[in-house]
Amino acid sequence: MTVLIAGGGIAGLTMALTCHQIGVPAVVLESVRSLAPLGVGINLQPNAVRELYDLGFEGDLDGIGIEAREWALVGRSGNDVWAEPRGRDAGYRWPQYSVHRGELQMLLYRAVLERMGADAVKTAHRVIGYRQFEDRIVATVDTRDGGTVEIDGDLLIAADGLHSAVRQQMHPDQPPPHWGGQVLWRGATPGPAIRTGASFTLVGSLEQRFVHYPISAVDAATGLQLQNWIAELTFDTSQGTPSSDWNTEVDVDKFLAEFADWNFDWLDIPALVQGAPAVWEFPMVDRDPADRWVDGRACLIGDAAHVMYPVGSNGASQAIVDARVMGAKLLDFGVEPAALEAFEADLIEDLSALVLRNRGHGPVGILGLVDERCGGVFDDIDDVIPRAEVEAYMANYKAAAGFAIEALNAAPPTITILAP
């Protein structure tokens, strides 16, 4: 009885650790030759942090990130439009963390090797397809040395990300990734603490914005912390979608001029951008929701199932939650296709709606209103938009996005492990 997991990213490694926790043998088939800490910052919402704690990582997240405490929208002139607490300060029982994506992946990877053994992750194993039989599934794997092998399992859980090969076989007619015109440039720069030292800030307008949040504590020796940032511009989509490869490194000259005068007394954006050792470009893409994630003994999770715009900072969090919900279904239904069906039935409708909703502006819509009314430049936000209007907008967004503090705080664990 083995679960084959395609992809050793956040979803795949969490899935492996969850299988181990519930006593189900699993093996991860990962395409790259060796895992490295790639990417920059991501946010782990309290629901995902809870799951990582249940997997034994309480105490480890401070080593790869920082507890997030504030979320703020800022106008083009550098003045606050809205600020609110996050994580435990907002009333959650579990914190929100801003972490380095690659360091999180390596934390999970080390745990898989320690808990499950060195053979639990097979690198240089790119899954290219699968074949179904009545009582098993066979993954076809390109071993990157020109060879192809077939690996047998009971189930195939596909966590192979945005360009999932398993999804492509399940949905051969799916359109290419959908692009709304935004391009993101991402980097991380050591710098002094900004605002609370644990604040997420989103500055600008719908068409041009800059996101910033720290992903490390202040280093006692240097007084600096790692500042994750994302610069974003909007383009005409008629020229076709740029390549959606997470590892495209570019020069800052591609976009820096557009932010040249974005220098406020509390945040010097050009200096932050220029101080980054490397900058990566990525078009903001998602995929149209699929009507099925399950095909017999194969099932999609994480980005392979529901890659979405990072409007609510919940792509990685949902990848973790998916793996845990799948674990609960394996406990309830056994290592059988019924577990996959139950997983899909629980999640597909809500997450497909979330993918489509994230194509809208989400909370950034407020910055659009401010931009319309005053070009984003103001001294007192109350002169531009009444506080009650912002509060109503944010309340609507949160209700639709399922921010449910009380519901999470009261919910039982996704997986309850009984003492042996």
**Contact set with ligand FAD (CB under 6 A):** 6-12, 29-32, 38-40, 42, 101, 126-127, 159-161, 165, 186, 246-247, 302-304, 310, 315-316, 319
Determine how many CB atoms are found less than 10 A away from the CB of residue 275.
16
Q: Residue 127 or 355: which CB sits closer to ligand FAD?
A: 127
Strand-pairing partners, residue 234, are: 182
Strand-pairing partners, residue 5, are: 28, 157
Residue 400: what residue type?
A
The distance of closest approach from Cβ of residue 167 to ligand FAD in the complex, given in angstroms and rounded to an integer, is 10
Residue 403 near residue 357, CB atoms below 8 Å: no
Q: Residue 104 or 342: which CB sits closer to ligand FAD?
A: 104
Q: Residue 255 or 378: which CB sits closer to ligand FAD?
A: 255
The distance of closest approach from Cβ of residue 140 to ligand FAD in the complex, given in angstroms and rounded to an integer, is 10
Strand-pairing partners, residue 108, are: none
The distance of closest approach from Cβ of residue 302 to ligand FAD in the complex, given in angstroms and rounded to an integer, is 2
The distance of closest approach from Cβ of residue 242 to ligand FAD in the complex, given in angstroms and rounded to an integer, is 16
H helix or E strand, kind and range, residue 213: strand 208-214
Q: Residue 29 or 331: which CB sits closer to ligand FAD?
A: 29
The distance of closest approach from Cβ of residue 211 to ligand FAD in the complex, given in angstroms and rounded to an integer, is 10
Determine how many CB atoms are found less than 10 A away from the CB of residue 98.
27
Q: Positive or negative CA dihedral for 333, 339, 343, 344?
A: negative
Q: Residue 81 or 151: which CB sits closer to ligand FAD?
A: 151
Tokens describing residue 40: 């920059």
The distance of closest approach from Cβ of residue 208 to ligand FAD in the complex, given in angstroms and rounded to an integer, is 19
The distance of closest approach from Cβ of residue 100 to ligand FAD in the complex, given in angstroms and rounded to an integer, is 9
Q: Residue 10 or 355: which CB sits closer to ligand FAD?
A: 10
Q: How many residues does the chain have?
A: 420
Residue 183: what residue type?
V
> 317, 306, 313: which is closest to 364 by C-alpha?
313
**What DSSP string describes 248-291?**
EEE-GGGTGGGGTT-B-SS-BHHHHHHT-S-EEEEEEEE-PPPS
Q: Residue 159 or 202: which CB sits closer to ligand FAD?
A: 159
Tokens describing residue 193: 């603490």
Residue whose C-beta lies closest to ligand FAD: 9
